[in-house]
Copies of this chain bind each other. A is one copy, B any other.
Amino acid sequence: MPAQFAPLQNDTFIRALLRQPTDYTPVWLMRQAGRYLPEYNATRKRAGSFLGLAKNPDYATEVTLQPLARFPLDAAILFSDILTVPDAMGLGLYFADGEGPKFERPLRDEAAVLALRKPEPGSLQYVFDAVTQIRTELSGRVPLIGFSGSPWTLACYMVEGGGSSDYRTVKTMLYNRPDLMHHILRTNADAVAAYLNAQIDAGAQAVMIFDSWGGALADGAYQEFSLAYMRQIVSQLQHEKNGVRVPCIVFTKGGGLWLEQIADIGADAVGLDWTMGLSRARALVGERVALQGNLDPVVLFSSSDQIRAEVGKTLQAFGQPKAGNGHVFNLGHGISQFTPPSAVEVMVETVHQVSRAMRHPG
């Protein structure tokens, strides 16, 4: 890691996460470096495969910076896979043609669970190298977000061996052998905390925990098997690096019902999907956390006028930011691979224009 990175020129995103005043509402997109961009697909083709892309710091840097060349986004996010940690634990991540991620050695019995170990030192170095390289090449233009899947979300893939429509295998283990499930989650939480801290050491200026599948859990089970482990991670994170705050965002897709509890685990910001109105969310969390979200990604398939109208509604739902509140504009979930890039341009431009006008009326 270089002794010194270039100073940050646009800190709007960081300020909003820390609930400090901003001139406008910052915006980035979940999966902003991805298949909806032809230049991403070209790089992926050169890399030969998704994992060839994700595991090579040069390629990861290239695709991380691509959306910033097109759109005036207020943050970059490390391009990486959500399953790097269990892959480094030896589960054997692979991608079958036209399918989602899979593991060669899923955790299906007690022996496999008890043999689970944290990743070997060095096994995730390619991620940290990418972080440092991206941060260097960003030259302080916007902050760089590091990320990880949540312990529960990683466990879903680790036990199911891939995606699932009902999470039957992993939830059966949860109900039948809660001891084994807690063993996996404890191991994952320690590994994720170390992983995010190493990303911060390597140059990440904010970190986000993606709990993509927490919303599949029953009330009660969510708190015990997902939220508790995200709380543990947040408590283990370094929240400052070289005297600068490193904010942390947690996002449980489908977690709106648990918003107040999520807001209490010590994170700086909570991500929301589109089912929760931002006005209600802001009233519920008060000044405890900033909020991130939450446009329906399908809005980006509509006309420019409609995109402007829906972006305006989202900004108005959050309302005028005041000292003590913060809003980062984002989609409520990852951008669809079929999105026209021109729609993203309209969205980003509208967020900036309208949110500036809201702060400086007349």
- List residues of A whose CB falls within 8 A of some B CB: 166-168, 171-172, 175-176, 215, 217-222, 254, 256-257, 274-277, 280, 296-299, 301-303, 306, 310, 313, 332, 336, 338
**Cβ distance A284 to chain B, nearest Cβ, rounded Å:** 11
A166 touches B276 (CB 8 A): no
Docked pose: A336 CA to B171 CA in angstroms: 13
Determine the residue in chain B with the shortest Cβ distance to A309.
Answer: B175
Asked whether, in the complex, the Cβ of B256 is within 8 Å of the Cβ of A298, the reply is: no
Q: Answer whether A172 and B275 are a contact pair too, CB < 8 Å, given A218-B296, A254-B254, A296-B221.
A: no
Given the contacts A222-B275, A277-B220, A175 and B313 also touching, CB distance less than 8 Å: no
A172 near B301: Cβ-Cβ < 8 Å: yes
User: Is B175's CB under 8 angstroms from A274's CB?
Assistant: no
Residues of B within 8 A of A219 (CB): 274-277, 280
The complex places the Cα of A302 from the Cα of B171 at a distance, in Å, of 9
Query: Are B168 and A336 in touch, CB under 8 angstroms?
Result: yes
- From known contacts A215-B275, A275-B257, infer whether A172 and B336 are also in contact, taking CB-CB under 8 Å: no
Q: A301: which B residues are within 8 A, CB to CB?
A: 168, 171-172, 175-176
Q: Are B276 and A172 in contact (CB under 8 A)?
A: no
Contact of A217 with B166 in the complex, beta carbons under 8 Å: no
Of the candidates A166, A171, A296, A297, the one having the most CB atoms from chain B within 10 angstroms of its own CB is: A296
B332 touches A218 (CB 8 A): yes
Task: State which of B167, B175, B257, B275 has its C-beta within 8 Å of the C-beta of A217.
Answer: B275
State the CA gap A302–B332 with chains docked (Å).
34
Complex A-B: 24 CB contacts under 8 Å: A166-B297, A166-B298, A166-B336, A167-B298, A168-B336, A168-B338, A171-B298, A172-B301, A175-B296, A175-B298, A175-B302, A175-B306, A176-B301, A176-B306, A218-B274, A218-B296, A219-B274, A219-B277, A219-B280, A220-B277, A222-B275, A256-B256, A257-B257, A257-B275
In angstroms, Cα B298 to Cα A176, docked, is 10
Name the CB-closest residue of B to A259: B257
CA A303 – CA B313 in complex, angstroms? Answer: 48
Which chain B residue has the least Cβ–Cβ distance from A172? B301
A179 to B166, CA, bound (A): 34
Of all chain B residues, the one with the shortest Cβ separation from A165 is B165
Q: Which residues of B contact A220 (CB under 8 A)?
A: 277, 313
User: Which residue of chain B has the shortest Cβ distance to A168 in the bound complex?
Assistant: B298
The complex places the Cα of A219 from the Cα of B276 at a distance, in Å, of: 6
CB-CB < 8 A to A274: which residues of B?
218-219
A215 to B215 alpha-carbon distance, docked (Å):
12
A171 to B217, CA, bound (A): 26
Which of A167, A256, A257 counts the most chain B CB atoms within 10 A? A257
Contact in complex: B218, A171 (CB < 8 Å)? no
Measured CA separation A217–B168 after assembly (Å): 25
Q: CA of A171 to CA of B298 in the docked complex: distance in angstroms?
A: 6
